[in-house]
Amino acid sequence: MTSLPHDVGRWRRIRRSIETFAGELPRSQQGFLFVLEDTAGAGGE
């Protein structure tokens, strides 16, 4: 389950980040997307 909204642009950024980390993109096309998780909130005990 994800809290990310269904947004094609956001999913493209995620895919680009995955491909960048995998070394599949040239430097001029690389991009990173970092996500933070709040584990102190509800259910994160």
pLDDT digits (tens, 9 = 90+) for 17-42: 999 999 999 999 999 998 888 788 66
> Residue 33: which of 41, 21, 22, 24 has the closest Cα?
21
pTM: 0.68
3-state helix, strand, coil in the chain (%, to 5): 40, 0, 60
